[in-house]
């Protein structure tokens, strides 16, 4: 019987033919937590009475959510994590280095690996054909201590992509379309496996965005095959030796199949307060917007800022515009290519690499009744620090067009 990508990765990991629905114990290649979830994982680790990390060099902490920390208790959490890392030899990514998910794909994740992180968007690394999934801090503490986790093997949904996206329609629009079609629980404890002739038209940054948001449909993770696009990215990141060609078998059995024609996708927006509350931008355009945020682990990569530059160059924004690069590497690339100059001259404010206002801790908390259009991945009530704020999720192109006009705007119209 043919295997899905999920079955191939997990079977190879334990050298045993896994069965969907059965529970196995899997060794992990990387385990990580961030500054919001790390303190609890450390607390549980200490309560277990374990004196050593299973693999210090593969245990990672990221100071990204409160970076730099806006309050003393968050600064104290950073100190706690630094002390733990120094004591046990874990690697600490410091303030300003970037968001955990972006740093994982830049520096660590590779095809065939199993990755667990104390953050739901760990699935971003599925774009590099790693079975990467978010877990609670308690499970992460156990993975830190033992180097393994228990997991039930999930079934897979095959997403077949046809044709290509039109101009100013982005990967964010595609994944919002899919989430809108499936619903917030439509892929619960399933894996979304992407395939089809259109894969070659999606670069790695597109794939990161899509994989990142699979969890918003309830998925355990999202997986892309390891093809030439994967290989080129790994070589660019300096770990080309980690590449292995990894595809599902042609006769693999899926729970179901979904066909998506990319040429029919239009700019999309998720309305408050649910990611699956999706509409076409043209259906709801004209909404007055107070703030626009282009950044996060979903929309903070160089290509996202370049399309914003294309729309905003030589013009001035009419809404507040916050720009947050997802990593230091992206920030430096933007400096070299003159990206930030264009965006700042247009009226944008650049914040340090990190999560920024996405989780509502600092750097862009909304006032009562304010509307924000964001390239982030969640728009739950209170997500950006105020339950009275209204968050609309859209592509970086839609965000830039909206900042330009001050109203929710279809990027094809500017």
For 345-383, what is each residue's pLDDT tens digit? Answer: 999 999 999 999 999 999 999 999 999 999 999 999 999
Q: How far apart are CA 2 and CA 92, in angstroms?
A: 40
| 235 has pLDDT over 90 | yes
Residues of the chain with CATH 3.30.499.10: 5-262, 269-413
Tokens describing residue 223: 């997986």
Q: Are 119 and 101 in contact (CB under 8 A)?
A: yes
Looking at CATH, the fold of the domain delimited by 269-413 is given as Aconitase; domain 3 (3.30.499)
For 182-222, what is each residue's pLDDT tens digit? Answer: 999 999 999 999 999 999 999 999 999 999 999 999 999 99
* Burial bucket for residue 355 (CB in 10 Å: 0-12, 13-18, 19+): buried
Q: How far apart are CA 7 and CA 18, in angstroms?
A: 6
For 397-409, what is each residue's pLDDT tens digit? Answer: 999 999 999 999 9
| 1 has pLDDT over 90 | no
How many C-alpha atoms does 261 have within 13 Å on its Cβ side? 2
Provide the 10 A C-beta neighbour count for residue 254: 18
What does the pLDDT average to over 315-338? 98
* Burial bucket for residue 167 (CB in 10 Å: 0-12, 13-18, 19+): exposed
For 96-116, what is each residue's pLDDT tens digit? Answer: 999 999 999 999 999 999 999
Q: What is the DSSP string of 183-231?
A: -TTTTTT-EEEEESGGGGG--HHHHHHHHHTGGGGT-SEEE--B-HHHH
Give me the architecture of the 5-262 domain, per CATH.
2-Layer Sandwich (3.30)
| 3 has pLDDT over 90 | yes
Predicted structure pTM score: 0.97
């Amino acid at each position: 019987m043919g295997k899905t990508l999920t079955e191939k990765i997990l079977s190879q990991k334990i050298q045993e033919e896994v069965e969907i629905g059965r529970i196995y114990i899997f060794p992990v290649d990387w385990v990580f937590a961030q500054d919001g979830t790390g303190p609890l994982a450390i607390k549980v680790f200490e309560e277990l009475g374990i004196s050593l990390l299973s693999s210090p060099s593969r245990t990672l902490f990221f100071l990204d959510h409160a970076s730099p920390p806006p309050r003393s208790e968050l600064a104290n959490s950073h100190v706690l994590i630094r002390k733990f890392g120094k004591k046990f030899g874990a690697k600490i990514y410091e303030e300003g280095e970037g968001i955990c998910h972006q740093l994982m794909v830049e520096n660590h994740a590779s095809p065939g690996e199993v990755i667990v992180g104390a953050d739901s968007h760990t699935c971003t690394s599925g774009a590099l054909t790693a079975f990467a999934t978010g877990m609670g801090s308690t499970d992460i503490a156990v993975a830190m201590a033992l180097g393994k986790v228990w997991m039930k093997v999930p079934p897979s949904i095959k997403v077949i992509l046809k044709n290509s996206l039109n101009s100013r329609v982005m990967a964010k629009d595609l994944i919002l379309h899919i989430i809108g079609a499936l619903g917030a629980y439509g892929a619960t404890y399933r894996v979304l496996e992407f395939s089809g002739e259109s894969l070659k038209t999606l670069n790695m940054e597109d794939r990161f965005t899509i994989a990142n948001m699979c969890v918003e449909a309830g998925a355990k993770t999202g997986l892309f095959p390891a093809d030439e696009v994967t290989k080129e990215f790994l070589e660019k990141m300096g770990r080309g030796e980690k590449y292995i060609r990894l595809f599902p078998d042609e006769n693999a059995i899926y729970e179901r199949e979904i066909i998506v024609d990319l040429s029919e996708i239009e700019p999309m927006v998720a309305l408050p307060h649910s990611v699956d509350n999706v509409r076409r931008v043209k259906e709801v355009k004209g909404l007055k917007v107070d703030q626009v945020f282009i950044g996060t682990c979903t929309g903070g990569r160089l290509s996202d800022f370049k399309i914003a530059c294309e729309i905003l160059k030589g013009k001035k924004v009419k809404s507040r515009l916050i720009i947050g690069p997802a990593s230091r590497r992206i920030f430096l690339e933007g400096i070299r290519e003159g990206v930030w100059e264009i965006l700042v001259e247009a009226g944008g404010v650049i914040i340090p690499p990190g999560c920024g206002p996405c989780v509502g801790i600092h750097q862009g908390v909304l006032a009562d009744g304010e509307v924000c259009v964001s390239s982030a991945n969640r728009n739950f009530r209170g997500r950006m620090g105020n339950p009275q704020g209204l968050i609309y999720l859209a592509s970086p192109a839609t965000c830039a067009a909206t900042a330009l006009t001050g109203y929710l705007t279809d990027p094809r119209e500017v």
